[in-house]
Structures are given as C-alpha cells and as structure tokens.
C-alpha cells in the first residue's frame, strides 16, 4: 500500500488530459472483432485498459503494445479460443462488455476481484436464463454456458449503460436482426452514443429511434486506424483545480465528443466559474463560484470532484439522483461523504443525494482512498487548497485509470511526497 502526501500549493500551467479509457475499451473490442490489423493511437495503460487487452490476448488476439499506441491483429470473433478463465481484474467495463462477446456454447469462466464480481449483473443473468442458457455468479467467478442469440431485448434505463453497449458489440455479428428497447429514464445514454460512434468507425451500423436501437445481423467489423479522445472524466479534476486554486489551461479537447462528462464545463459555468474556451482548449480561471444543483445520474464519475467545487462555492449545493454512485469501485456516495466530512466540509448524506454548504475551507488529515481512483484524485485536488497537507492512504488506486496523475499534478506546481 502506498501513501502520498499532498500539500497546499498554488498551481499554474498547461495540461493535456490522458486518453479516455471508455473510448479505449470500445476501440480495443472493435479491433478484436475485426478481421485484419487495427492501429489505435493515443493509448494509456491503466489497469482497466490492460484488463481488456489481456482478456483478448488470452483468447488468441495478437496485441502489440507501443509506447502510446496499439496494433491489434485478429481474425474476428469466431477464431477466439477460450480454454482458460477470462480475468477482468476490477474493470466493470471489461466484464460487462465481454460477457456477451466471449460466451460460447461451452462453459466460460469470468474472474476478477470480489469488488467487481459483487456488482449487479442481473441484466445478463435474466437474458441468459430467458434464452435457456446458463449464468451463475458465486462471488468468485461468473460462469456462462451458451451464446447470445438475436432477439428483441427490453432493458431498464436506470442500470449501467455498459450492459447495453455489451449487447451492441455482439448483436451485429449474429445471424438475425435484433432490437434493444430502453424502458424508463435512460441514464448515461451518452456512453451508448459513444459506443455507436466507435462501432461506425469499424463499419458497424446501429440505428436509433428515440430509446430503441435496431441492429441488423450478419454485419462485419472492418479493421481501421483510430485515435482515442482525451478523457473528460479526468479533465474534470483539472477544471475544478483551476476554478478553486489558480488558472490552468487544458488542451487537446474535443468539444464534439459523446463523453457525458464533458458537461463539467457547463457545470462550472453554471456555478459562475470563469472559463475561456478556444477551438480545442479551455482555460479555467480562479473564480468566486456559487452553489448549484446537478443531476449526476448521467455523469456519476465526476460527482466526487463536484463535491469539492461545492465546498468552495457560496450557498448550498445539491448533487441529486446519485444512487448509482453506490455501485462503483467503492460506495462512492458514502466515501465522498466520509472523505469530505473528515476534511471538515459541511456535508449531508442522503439516500440518493449529497448536500454541501460552501465554507471555502478544508483541513488537512489522513484519508483513505477506499481503493477508489476517483476518491484518491479528489483528495489530491482538495489538498491543494486545504489548510495543511492531506495524506492519502492506498494512493495507488489511481492506477486503475490514470497512472501518472501525481506526476501531472507535480508539473502544475503541486508539492507531493510519496511516502
């Protein structure tokens, strides 16, 4: 376990966010399902992305890892040789995307850390059982026996969009046409839009009519060259840092992205933050922000850092519709509350919301990351404006999505000591 001390520091400078792991998962999957050679540019080897790479390597896909690119050679889905468990480590995307793709008409085991296997999997369990296939989760592994078959799927919209994307990867390869109808409020819908956009880059077409998706069968993935976007989820930490600490310029921004967390810019402006936007950059300037109300159901990953912004905003901020935060690497609703409470924030925890009264001050302390990368990064940003250092226990949690986060913070002038 690693401890990191982060000290109050005035920041300045320019930063490029890391590549989007959401984009990379999808591009790697499409490349593995293609016949031929695909090159993916702008790659970061976070633990989650490595989990997807290694899963496909374990079934016979050739993946050459460059310094910041991947070359993937595959004959497509039907050549996969699955004779050992598929280890998904702690990556929810890897597990939920690959279950429908790699399940066959013989037993397949998916393994990973207990924190992953205890996440809800009811959607797939119901689909497999309805299609007369097997799906068993004993807490140590998930066993499937049977392939997904074409059909008309009805899925509740208040579950993880990863289930929908998982189906969208496999359904175009099947022998018949399919549809997916979303029932009720469609949360994190932009992630599905991202999936459809990346599928299109590999010649797979999904039609959409309101909350129903139509997927023709017998389609073929075509290899290509593709470049990952940079990650708005990670950009959010620097955006808040610039707003509450000192001016930061963030470059290589794709404003046309489908990433739902790009709304961080709108939220900061809603809170009266001063943001200067250019063609592919934004400068976040230190601002006197005021309280805001934000529905985090579409962007749960940025909720913890928004709570820090709320501490430095005048008035009472409400982060609402946050129940899905309980199903992340940690119960992020609870761990955000515990972390900021320990730092002296005036924060209230509800069943599906957080309420923060702005006090414009935080105190140093020893805090646990709860093995959650978003909590570790949130604590590091908070430390730069606290009254004394914050020591982060289990600080290596950042490796899940952003291994060089502390180095990038140092480049902006943050004093960091690795214990």
Question: What are the residue numbers of the active site?
Answer: 301
**What is the C-alpha to C-alpha distance for residues 384 and 364, in angstroms, rounded to an integer?**
10
Angle at which helices 21-32 and 189-201 cross, to 10°: 40
Say if residues 179 and 213 touch (Cβ distance below 8 Å): yes
**What is the C-alpha to C-alpha distance for residues 172 and 214, in angstroms, rounded to an integer?**
10
**What is the C-alpha to C-alpha distance for residues 119 and 315, in angstroms, rounded to an integer?**
35
| The token pair that represents 101 in the structure block | 């793709």
**Residue 87 Cα to chain centre, angstroms:** 19
Task: Enumerate residues 6+ apart whose C-beta is below 8 A from 366.
Answer: 390, 391, 393
Task: Enumerate residues 6+ apart whose C-beta is below 8 A from 49.
Answer: 21, 24, 25, 28, 43
Which candidate, 212, 204, 192, 211, places its Cα nearest to that of 152?
Answer: 212
To 5 degrees, how large is the angle CA 66–CA 248–CA 357? 115
Task: Enumerate residues 6+ apart whose C-beta is below 8 A from 247.
Answer: 12, 283, 284, 285, 286
**Residue 245 Cα to chain centre, angstroms:** 25
**What is the C-alpha to C-alpha distance for residues 202 and 221, in angstroms, rounded to an integer?**
5
Supply φ then ψ for residue 272, to 5 degrees: 75, 20
Question: What 3-state class would DSSP assign to 303?
Answer: helix
| The token pair that represents 66 in the structure block | 């460059």
Which candidate, 47, 169, 158, 59, places its Cα nearest to that of 113?
Answer: 47
Which candidate, 166, 70, 71, places its Cα nearest to that of 110?
Answer: 166
**210 in the Ramachandran plot: left (φ > 0), alpha (ψ -120 to 50) or beta?**
left
Query: Please, what's the largest Cα pairwise distance for the chain?
Result: 62
């Amino acid at each position: 376990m690693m401890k990191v001390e982060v000290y109050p520091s005035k920041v300045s400078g320019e930063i490029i966010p890391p590549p989007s792991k959401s984009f990379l998962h999808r591009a790697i999957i499409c490349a593995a399902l293609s016949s031929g050679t695909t090159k993916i540019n702008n790659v970061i080897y976070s633990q989650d992305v490595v989990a997807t790479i290694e899963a496909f390597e374990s079934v016979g896909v050739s993946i050459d890892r460059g310094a910041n690119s991947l070359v993937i050679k595959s004959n497509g889905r039907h050549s996969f040789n699955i004779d050992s468990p598929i280890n998904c480590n702690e990556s929810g995307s890897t597990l939920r995307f690959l279950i429908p793709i790699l399940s066959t008409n013989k037993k397949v085991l998916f393994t990973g850390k207990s924190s992953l296997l205890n996440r809800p999997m009811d959607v797939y369990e119901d689909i497999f059982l309805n299609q007369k296939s097997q799906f068993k989760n004993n807490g140590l592994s998930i066993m499937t026996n049977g392939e997904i078959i074409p059909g008309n799927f009805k899925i509740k919209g208040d579950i993880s969009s990863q289930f929908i994307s998982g189906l969208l990867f496999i359904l175009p390869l099947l022998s018949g046409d399919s549809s997916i109808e979303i029932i009720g409020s469609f949360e994190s819908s932009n992630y599905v839009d991202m999936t459809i956009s990346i599928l299109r880059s590999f010649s797979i077409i999904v039609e959409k009519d309101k909350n129903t998706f139509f997927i023709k069968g017998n389609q073929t993935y075509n290899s290509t060259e593709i470049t990952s976007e940079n990650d708005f989820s990670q950009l959010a930490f620097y955006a808040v840092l610039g707003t509450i600490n000192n001016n930061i310029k963030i470059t290589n921004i794709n404003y046309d992205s489908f990433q739902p967390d790009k709304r961080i810019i709108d939220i900061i402006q809603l809170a009266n933050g001063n943001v200067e936007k250019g063609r592919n950059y934004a400068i976040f300037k230190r601002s006197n922000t005021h309280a805001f109300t934000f529905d985090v159901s579409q962007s749960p990953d940025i909720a913890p850092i928004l709570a820090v912004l709320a501490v430095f905003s005048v008035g009472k901020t409400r982060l609402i519709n946050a129940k899905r935060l309980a199903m992340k690497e940690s119960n992020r609703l609870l761990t955000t509350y515990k972390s900021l409470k320990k730092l002296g924030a005036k924060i209230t925890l509800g069943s599906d919301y957080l309420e923060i009264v702005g006090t414009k001050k935080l105190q140093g302390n020893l805090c646990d990351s709860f093995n959650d990368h978003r909590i570790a990064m949130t604590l590091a940003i908070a430390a730069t404006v606290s009254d004394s250092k914050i020591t982060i226990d289990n600080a290596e949690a950042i490796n899940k999505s952003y291994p060089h986060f502390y180095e990038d913070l140092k480049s902006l002038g943050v004093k960091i000591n690795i214990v």
